[in-house]
Amino acid sequence: MFCHHLIVPQEICFYLSPYSTISGKKFLNNSKFGQSPIYALEISDTEVPTGDQLPAEYVVKKGNSLWNISEQAYGSGYNWVDVYAANKTVIKNPDVLLAGSKITLPKVEKKEITYQVKKGDNLWNIAAAYCGSGFSYPKIASANQIKDAGVIDPGKILEIVCN
């Protein structure tokens, strides 16, 4: 979501990220990039076609990313690869979407991501690895009917849910 290394106008720069849900706030803590303050962009409220409306064309709005478009269209951000594959002639770089671009949202199944728990795993680390943030662990716990997030059995197959 941040444009820390791209030389393009802020209004057309959108990063592909499972945790880009920041809305119009100035960020000062970007010292790891050694640059001036950067801005998050507001994600559009425009309806993204879903279900029986697919396949469909969609006009990219300010703040869209392939991840958030896929979350809305398919219920899983992991479908961003399908959207990108269907639009390689329009989208040159999957990390950068140009507002106003027309893209095709293909008719594909929701990507189900699973993970088999290994000895020593915990939900925080699994969420961090798959969702980009450990703070997504309650969603994974809920989707898998895990009552005590501190106890997961090795061998258990988890459905990974980040949104």
Q: Where are the domains of the chain?
A: 1-110, 113-160
Q: What is the pLDDT of residues 64-101, one digit of tens each?
A: 999 999 989 998 888 999 999 999 999 999 999 999 99
**113-160, what's its fold?**
Membrane-bound Lytic Murein Transglycosylase D; Chain A (3.10.350)
* pTM for the structure as a whole: 0.59
**Alpha-carbon gap, residue 57 to 95, rounded angstroms:** 19
CATH architecture of 1-110: Roll (3.10)
Determine the average pLDDT of the residues in 33-40: 33
DSSP 97-144: --TT-EEEE---PPPPEEEE--TT--HHHHHHHHHS-GGGHHHHHHHT
Same fold, 1-110 and 113-160: yes
Q: Counting beta carbons within 10 angstroms of the beta carbon of residue 10, is it exposed (0 to 12), middle (13 to 18) or buried (19 or more)?
A: middle
Q: What is the pLDDT of residues 127-158, one digit of tens each?
A: 999 888 899 999 999 999 999 999 999 999 99
